[in-house]
């Protein structure tokens, strides 16, 4: 996969056929152990131009791939590509893929660097990079999925190259580092000349090779390019390296020893944090407020590729991520943020607006700006130009809160105008809470996550995070429980994933309950969930529960939307249009459709196609539970549905089969 797609058994290559057939195989392998529908395969490989006979082409492709990949006389239920309802699943039993090895070695390198074992990290990074063959992964494969995966793997390849150069510099192997940097420059993207961390590494490598004048020239070249083409000054990290070269600061520039070295550790490499005037303040640790990355993020490759795709270097890029409670929005944006962190040397900020907490938990834009300005200027510093006296914690201490917000926004934009920052804003409910927080520095990125869709926010990327597919949900369970335990009950694992509706929060709670009950089997836990209502009761662990997560979304709806939510829970079908809810609510169809669209915006309804709606099984269970507390309302809704269906039946009888 990390080059032209190839497969082999032992030393013998296998014929995978034409590139479209290879693209089908790649789509299945990239989602190993996940059920992939035929429609999704058509979208992955053909995009907006599927063949007219697509649903006949795919079975023929899969048949040919099975003949190529499976050993002779393999039974269908033991094939690497197994049929599932409406699609196929690739089962990687006994299969080695270079993409899996790449992920494993990248993780080992990350662990080794965290333990300061630089030689081990360098070995893993070198081996990982050697897995790539040719200029690009999935070379020549057509389709949107292959294109997105090529971009993601290309970004990962460059990130691994960068990490390898860092190891070489820190180990004092400066000549090798310069050779590696030259190789990176030869394949640079259009934004690469603005990559200040790479420029800093080159300066350190040149200095370590006794080429101080060239290190200073490299700084001037980067600074001039930033000024002329982007209109900004170098970031604090690059300026700090420049000052270190001028001072001949060997301790800072000549690397840090590994854990296996007997040399005492160098002082930590810390940047200068900017003040509003742009002057250098005292040295402080690098500004990075990102939460820890999750150990297992399953089934989000396409979303991650969109969030981390290259952005214009001369503008601020905003991505808005929405989805229902517990679907994994925060985990996704945090993973994306860690992937992007190295591109933002001036700092990574994380703000949780707590829009779905209690009134005293919520963070106003004033309070968020107040805190971020202090973070940029140091926790013990005064805010610029006396702004330390502005506003209480909730931003309402002054009579003119709007004027206060305006002053804080102006100070924030001034403070960030020359910085390339990464800002993650989580638990957002309204666009007006995010707009004041957007930094001004070109090349900055903002990742916004919340349950509510934000059409009022100007965003370059918008995506809705959906629940996991069946195979992806089972993959998360295997990670949580261990492959041995999950694989002992494969059918039960699939059924538990189904009863959790592919919702990561539900799966993690179920996994935690099974972890805390080693004697429980998966079948036993399933037996405790005979119906949807009992399911909600079982999917709780201490202060976490699926019901409370959904209930917070419900509690923040206006009374009309709460009524509509409860009514939709009575729909006799899993998919519906506005006609049935309109009858249950006793309102015109247009009014009912407006309410349903607002429930979609609140991520309490899904919209598979225009004018059609559906509700997640666990959300529907909450709607049923809430409706049960209002028996008169329930009776009225059911009577309205009965009348609607009776009238439709009479109409069908009058028209006959030819006219209805």
Are 606 and 623 in a shared domain? yes
Q: What is the pLDDT of residue 391?
A: 41
Calpha distance 291→294 (Å, rounded): 9
Question: Residue 276 corresponds to which tokens in the numbers above?
Answer: 């509003």
pLDDT of residue 398: 47
Residue 181 domain flag: no
How much is the pLDDT for 384?
45
- 3-state DSSP assignment of residue 607: strand
Q: Kindly state whether residues 234 and 216 are assigned to the same domain.
A: yes
C-alpha pair distances (Å), 2 with each of 9, 97, 110, 145: 18, 9, 20, 15
| DSSP-H helix ranges across 447-531 | 470-481, 483-488, 490-499, 504-516, 522-527
Residue 659's pLDDT is 46
Rounded to an integer, what distance in angstroms lies between the CA atom of residue 433 and that of residue 31? 37
Q: Could you give the CA distance from residue 576 to residue 567 in angstroms, rounded to a whole number?
A: 12
235 falls within a domain: yes
Domain assignment present for 270: no
Tokens 């309204």 label which residue? 430
Residue 109 CA to residue 163 CA, distance in Å, equals: 9
Does 333 fall in a domain? yes
Distance CA 164, CA 128 (A): 10
Count of C-beta atoms within a 10 Å radius of residue 318: 23
User: Domain holding 644: CATH number?
Assistant: 1.10.10.10
Q: Report the residue count for the chain.
A: 660
CB 541 within 8 A of CB 551: no
Together in a domain, 38 and 81: yes
Looking at the fold, whether 23 and 139 belong to one and the same domain comes out as yes
Strands 317-322, 445-450: parallel, antiparallel or unpaired by DSSP? parallel
Instruction: Give the span between the Cα atoms of 527 and 434, in whole angstroms.
Output: 44
Same domain, 85 and 139: yes
- Do residue 318 and residue 232 come from a single domain? no
Written as six digits, the tokens of 46 are: 């053909």
Interior/surface letters 17-51, b for 16+ CB within 10 angstroms, e for the rest: eebebbbbbbbbbbbbbbbbebebbbbbbbeeebe
Domain identity same for 598 and 476: no
Tell me which residue of 317, 322, 284 sits closest to 423, measured CA to CA: 317
Q: How far apart are CA 201 and CA 416, in angstroms?
A: 24
Give the structural domain span for 203. Answer: 192-263
**Of 362, 289, 363, 303, which is closest to residue 333 (Cα–Cα)?**
303
Show the tokens assigned to 34: 């996940």
Whether residues 15 and 136 fall in one domain: yes
**Which contiguous run of DSSP H or E holds residue 176?**
helix 174-186
Tokens representing 243 are 């000052």
* Residues 26, 147: Cα–Cα separation, whole Å: 12
Instruction: Give the orientation angle of helix 196-208 with respect to helix 144-170, to 10 degrees.
Output: 30
Quote the tokens at residue 322: 């929405």
Inter-CA distances, 379 with 163, 282, 290, 373, Å: 30, 12, 17, 9
Q: Which run of H or E residues covers position 230? A: none
Q: Are 167 and 125 in contact (CB under 8 A)?
A: yes
Q: How far apart are CA 96 and CA 73, in angstroms?
A: 21
Token reading at 28:
């299945």
Q: What is the mean pLDDT, run by run of 10 residues, along the chain of 660 residues?
A: 90 90 92 85 85 80 92 87 89 87 88 87 93 88 88 85 90 90 76 74 90 91 83 80 86 58 33 35 62 83 87 87 94 92 88 81 90 76 45 43 78 88 95 94 93 92 91 89 89 93 94 93 93 88 90 92 90 83 90 94 89 90 90 84 77 54
Question: Do 437 and 489 have their domain in common?
Answer: no
Name the residue among 503, 339, 357 with its Cα closest to residue 424.
Answer: 339
The Cα–Cα gap between 106 and 111 comes to: 9
Q: Do 62 and 47 belong to one domain?
A: yes
Cα separation, 181 vs 198, whole angstroms: 8
pTM to 2 decimals? Answer: 0.58
524 domain-assigned: yes
Residue 269 sits at the vertex; the CA angle it makes with 266 and 275, to the nearest 5 degrees, is: 145
Place of tokens 């990327």: 461
Residue 538, domain member (yes or no): no
- Residue 70, strand partner residues: none
Give the distance from CA 202 to its chain's centroid.
31
User: Is residue 448 domain-shared with residue 476, that is, in the same domain?
Assistant: no
Domain count, the chain: 5
- What is the DSSP-derived secondary structure letter of residue 310? -
**Matching residue, tokens 């081990």:** 120
Rounded to whole angstroms, how far apart are CA atoms 447 and 460?
10
Q: Does residue 287 belong to any structural domain of this protein? A: no
Q: CA-CA distance, 274 to 330, in Å (whole number)? A: 28
Question: Do 17 and 88 sit in the same domain of this protein?
Answer: yes
What CATH number is associated with residue 230?
A: 1.25.40.10
Q: The tokens of 493 are what? A: 């694992």
Strand partners, 609: 612
What is the pLDDT at residue 611? 86
In a domain, 177, yes or no: no
For 304-420, strand residue ranges (E) read: 317-322, 348-352
**Alpha-carbon span 576 to 573, nearest angstrom:** 6
């Amino acid at each position: 996969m990390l080059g032209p797609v190839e497969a082999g058994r032992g030393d013998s290559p296998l014929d995978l056929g034409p590139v479209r057939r290879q693209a089908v195989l790649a789509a299945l392998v990239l989602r190993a152990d996940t059920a992939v529908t035929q429609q999704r395969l058509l979208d992955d490989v053909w995009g907006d131009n599927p063949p007219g006979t697509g649903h006949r082409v795919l079975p023929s492709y899969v048949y040919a791939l099975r003949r190529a990949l499976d050993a002779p006389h393999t039974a269908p239920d033991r094939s690497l590509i197994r049929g599932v309802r409406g699609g196929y699943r690739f089962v990687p039993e006994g299969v080695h893929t270079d993409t899996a090895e790449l992920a494993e070695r990248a993780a080992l390198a990350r662990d080794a660097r965290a333990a300061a074992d630089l030689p081990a990290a360098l070995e893993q990074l070198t081996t990982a990079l050697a897995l790539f063959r040719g200029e690009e992964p999935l070379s020549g494969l057509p389709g949107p999925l292959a294109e997105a995966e090529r971009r993601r793997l290309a970004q990962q390849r460059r990130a691994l190259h960068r990490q390898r150069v860092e190891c070489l510099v820190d180990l004092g192997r400066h000549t090798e580092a310069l050779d590696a940097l030259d190789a990176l420059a030869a394949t640079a993207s259009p934004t690469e000349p603005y990559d200040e961390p790479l420029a800093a590494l080159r300066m350190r490598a040149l200095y370590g090779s006794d080429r101080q004048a060239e290190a200073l020239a490299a700084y001037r070249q980067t600074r001039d390019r930033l000024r002329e083409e982007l209109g900004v000054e170098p970031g604090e990290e690059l300026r700090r390296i420049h000052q270190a070269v001028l001072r001949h600061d060997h301790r800072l520039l000549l690397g840090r020893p590994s854990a296996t070295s007997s040399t005492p550790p160098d002082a930590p490499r810390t940047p200068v944090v900017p003040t509003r005037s742009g002057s250098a303040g005292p040295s402080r640790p690098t500004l990075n407020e990102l939460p820890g990355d999750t150990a297992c993020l399953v089934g989000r490759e396409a979303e991650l590729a969109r969030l981390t795709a290259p952005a214009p270097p001369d503008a601020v890029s905003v991505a808005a991520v929405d989805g229902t409670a517990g679907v994994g929005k925060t985990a996704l944006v945090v993973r994306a943020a860690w992937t992007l962190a190295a591109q933002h040397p001036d700092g990574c900020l994380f703000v949780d607006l707590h829009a779905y907490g209690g009134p005293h938990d919520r963070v106003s834009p004033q309070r968020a700006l107040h805190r971020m300005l202090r973070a940029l200027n140091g926790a013990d510093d005064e805010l610029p130009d006396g702004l330390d006296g502005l506003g209480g914690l909730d931003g309402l201490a002054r009579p003119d809160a709007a004027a206060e917000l305006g002053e804080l926004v102006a100070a924030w934009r001034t403070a960030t105008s020359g910085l390339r920052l990464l800002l993650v804003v989580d638990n957002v409910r309204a666009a007006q809470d995010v707009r004041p927080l957007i930094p001004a520095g070109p090349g900055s990125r903002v990742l916004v996550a919340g349950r509510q869709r934000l059409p009022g926010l100007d965003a370059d990327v918008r995506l809705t995070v959906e629940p996991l597919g069946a195979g992806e949900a089972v993959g998360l369970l295997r990670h949580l429980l261990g492959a041995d335990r999950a694989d002992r009950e494969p059918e039960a694992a699939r059924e538990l994933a189904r009863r959790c509706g592919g919702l990561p929060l539900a799966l993690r709670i179920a996994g935690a309950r099974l972890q805390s009950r080693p004697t429980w089997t998966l079948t036993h836990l399933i037996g405790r969930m005979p119906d949807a209502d009992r399911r909600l009761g079982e999917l709780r662990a201490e202060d976490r529960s699926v019901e409370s997560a959904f209930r917070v979304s419900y509690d923040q709806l206006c009374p009309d939307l709460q009524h509509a939510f409860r009514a939709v829970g009575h729909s006799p079908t899993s998919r519906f249009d506005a006609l049935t809810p309109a009858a249950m609510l006793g309102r015109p169809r247009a009014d009912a459709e407006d309410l349903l669209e607002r429930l979609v915006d609140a991520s309490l309804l899904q919209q598979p196609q225009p004018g059609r709606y559906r509700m997640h099984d666990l959300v529907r269970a909450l709607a049923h539970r809430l409706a049960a507390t209002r028996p008169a309302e329930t009776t009225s809704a059911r009577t309205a549905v009965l009348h609607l269906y009776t009238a439709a039946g009479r109409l069908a009888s009058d028209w006959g089969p030819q006219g209805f």
